Amino acid sequence: MTLQDFKLKMVSELSSIYEMDELNSIFNLLSEDYLKIPRSKILLADEIHLDESNQTLFLSALERLKTHEPIQYVLGKTTFIDLEFKVNSSVLIPRPETEELVRLILKEDLDGKEIFDIGTGSGCIAISLAKNLPNAKVSALDISIDALEVARENAKLNNVNIEFIHADIFEYHLDKKYDVIVSNPPYVTESEKLKMKKNVLNYEPEIALFVNDSDPTKYYEFIINFSKNHLHANGQIYLEINENYKYDLNLLAQNYEYKIIEFKLDTHNKIRFLVLSEENQLEKNTH
């Protein structure tokens, strides 16, 4: 079997699940990983003959993909902010929107500051911040022991030092204060499941995705309340949000007397992020 033969087989068997651009991306990812071929050379390698070992790898991946398993879990890894992260079904696959959240935070001068990531999962937010802010002190919390095991592996892989905390944020108590609190908490309501693909519903951890329709902002309310005792006076909160609850979140922030309440758009022009602070940048710089 040549690489081109496999591609034709893959397209034939997966076209009912994925769009052609997705199939091309999956093919490139498999070829890069299994054959160690740079993406720029894959088009020139169509006629490469797959030996028995590689055929087994490619065909095994195809069988997993046919069950809607995400390519990131098939490969056991993904990239985020140009870093490599191990992933499995214990953690959410990092999304491009969450990359935008990290880049938003990195616009601030936070090197040397203390940062707390709530619901860290794979560790993608905490580790990316620590990698780009080598003097920052980053802590990361998750309720899942399995997720924290993945996050610790990723911290080692990316050569950063993170304080990992195994706890339920609703029951976590500490005396410490932070300069930044960041979270990408569960924000997809149960009723929104109908709009989601099988590769998410059947494989990614529900605990990291979904909230009850009856209390869709419970994580945000707790985090904002938590911040009043655990955020330095000039600190900021960065949250990835469900745009359907913008008005509820705005009211929550007002109730907790945050002076600066900023909703920010992602690259798809959806309201995706909420940034809260007690003082704006101009005020901070004059203190």
- Per-residue pLDDT, 197: 87
Whether residue 286 has pLDDT greater than 50 = no
pLDDT tens-digit series, residues 198-250: 888 899 999 999 999 999 999 999 999 999 999 998 899 999 999 999 999 99
Residue with tokens 């993170």, as numbered in its chain: 162
Task: Note the pLDDT of residue 283.
Answer: 44
According to the model, what pLDDT value does residue 281 have? 40
As a whole number, mean pLDDT of residues 9-35 equals 95
Which of these ranges, 57-66, 89-98, 155-164, 208-217, has the smallest mean pLDDT? 208-217
Residues 6+ apart with CB under 8 A from 215: none
pTM of this structure: 0.93
Measured N-to-C along each axis, helices 52-66 and 3-14 cross at an angle, to the nearest 10 degrees, of 10
- CA-closest candidate to residue 141, choices 177, 111, 170, 113: 170
Residue 188 has pLDDT above 80, yes or no: yes
Structure tokens at 149: 């095991």
Please report, to the nearest 10 degrees, the dihedral formed by the alpha carbons of residues 129, 131, 132, 136 taken in order.
Answer: 70
Cβ neighbors of 213 (< 8 A, separation 6 or more) are: 189, 190, 191
Per-residue confidence band for 45, with pLDDT thresholds at 50, 70 and 90: low
